[in-house]
């Protein structure tokens, strides 16, 4: 699998997409386009791959869908940018 991409289960219409992005310290990114549009997003989530043990505000970071075509990354770490690996599952158009 590539670092960013998608795959479709043609038997069920389940569309899976994934990728990696960087989110600056203590912010949320502007909306980012999914590699391909969903008809409906079931779940979108992410985890950061770099940690900061000295940050005292929770170190939360991840991803969330804003529509069937876009998602955003968030980062609560106030001392550093983070790389977030995200994944989204949903129904493909036409299914």
Burial (Cβ within 10 Å: 0-12, 13-18, ≥19) of residue 43: exposed
pLDDT of 77 reads: 81
- What is the overall mean pLDDT for the chain? 91
The per-residue pLDDT for 56 is: 58
Strands 70-75 and 27-28: antiparallel
The rounded percent of the chain whose pLDDT value lies above 70 is 91
What pLDDT score was predicted for residue 1?
A: 65
Domain-wise residue ranges, the chain:
5-91
> Is the model's pLDDT at 54 over the cut of 90?
no
Residue burial 3-23, b: 16+ Cβ < 10 Å; e: rest = eeebeeeeeeeebebbbebeb
Q: What is the pTM (predicted TM-score) of this model?
A: 0.88
| Cβ atoms of 78 and 57 closer than 8 Å | yes
For domain 5-91, the CATH class is mainly beta
Q: Residue 64's pLDDT band (boundaries 50, 70, 90)?
A: very high
Residue 76 pLDDT:
86
């Amino acid at each position: 699998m590539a670092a960013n991409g998608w795959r479709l289960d043609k038997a069920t219409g389940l569309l899976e997409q994934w990728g990696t992005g960087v989110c600056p310290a203590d912010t949320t990114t502007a909306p980012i386009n999914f590699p391909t549009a969903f008809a409906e997003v079931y779940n979108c989530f992410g985890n950061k791959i770099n940690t900061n043990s000295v940050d005292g505000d929770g170190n939360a970071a991840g991803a969330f869908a804003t529509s069937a075509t876009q998602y955003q990354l968030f980062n609560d770490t106030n001392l550093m940018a983070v790389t977030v690996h995200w994944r989204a599952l949903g129904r493909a158009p036409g299914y």
